[in-house]
Amino acid sequence: MYRYLLARLYEEVYLRAYDSVPEAKACLGRYFNFYNTQRPHQSLDGQTPDTMYFNHVPQERIAA
């Protein structure tokens, strides 16, 4: 978890200068959405976290 947070801090926070807290929240929300749905991960064999999660969750749990 710590490595994950450091990587996000570097990729999104340290490379930007936000003008306000609402702007930072909006940008981080967009970034986390991108990170989980579009960005391939080497540790997941090039898949996204969402792909890995939703392909391994029992169907009855997804529908709930």
Alpha carbon distance 64, 54 (integer Å): 13
User: Contact 7/35 with Cβ under 8 angstroms?
Assistant: no
Residue 45 falls in which region: left (phi positive, over 0), alpha (psi -120 to 50) or beta: left
What are the extents of the domains in the chain? Answer: 2-63
pLDDT at 21: 92
Q: What is the pTM of this model?
A: 0.60
Q: CB 35: neighbour CB atoms within 10 A?
A: 19
Q: What is the pLDDT of residues 18-58, one digit of tens each?
A: 899 999 899 888 888 888 888 888 888 888 888 888 887 66
